[in-house]
Amino acid sequence: MRGRPGPSWKVFIKAPPDKVYRYVVDVGQHAEWASEPDAMVISAAEQGEPSVGKMYKAEGTLLGKRNPSTVTITALDPPKTIEIEAEDSSGISGHVFTLTPQDGGTLVTRQIYGVKQPLLGPVFFFIFKRKIDVNFNGALNNLKSKLESDGA
């Protein structure tokens, strides 16, 4: 992933990596497991299977305001990694999902990258880290619930 590495969040899911991969790679389904405060909506720009270069239109709540973005799949290594970039009016952020087999399930790590961010981006991240943690941990816990309940 290009850009400056940022923090990561992790969750263990009692499901095999291939099942987790099939669900996470379908970026159009990310709204199903997004955190409640994010209230994400997302749809593919065109039909077809997930692939490098496929784009999506998304909108979520960021700091209390609706925030439209374009999400692009930038790299895939089944069933190990999924890389996406989200571009909005403030810049571009990268998200890498790494799936590691562990104890009969999958450890999912989500790391963010600052690809193109405002000069004060790192400062804003530090100020709003608690809200970001709630959002990303909430999403990963929703992903865990979906996959462990066979809802995916």
DSSP the chain: --SEEEEEEEEEESS-HHHHHHHHT-GGGHHHHS-GGG--EEEESS-S---TT-EEEEEEEETTEEEEEEEEEEEEETTTEEEEEEEETTEEEEEEEEEEEETTEEEEEEEEEEEE--TTHHHHHHHTHHHHHHHHHHHHHHHHHHHHTT--
pTM of the model: 0.90
Give whole-number Cα distances, 25 to 3, 76, 112, 131, in Å.
21, 8, 16, 25
Written as six digits, the tokens of 95 are 């998200």
As a whole number of angstroms, the distance between CA 80 and CA 84 comes to 14
- Average pLDDT of 116-138? 71
pLDDT at 122 over 90: no
pLDDT higher for 35 or 84? 84
Average pLDDT, the chain: 91
Of the candidate ranges 5-9, 63-67, 123-127, the one whose mean pLDDT is the lowest: 123-127
pLDDT higher for 4 or 63? 4
As a whole number of angstroms, the distance between CA 35 and CA 113 comes to 19
Predicted confidence at residue 119, as pLDDT, reads 66
As a whole number of angstroms, the distance between CA 50 and CA 7 comes to 26
* Residues 38, 49, 71, 126, CA torsion sign: positive
- Nearest Cα to Cα of residue 99 among 1, 6, 19, 2: 19
pLDDT at 121 over 90: no
pLDDT higher for 129 or 70? 70
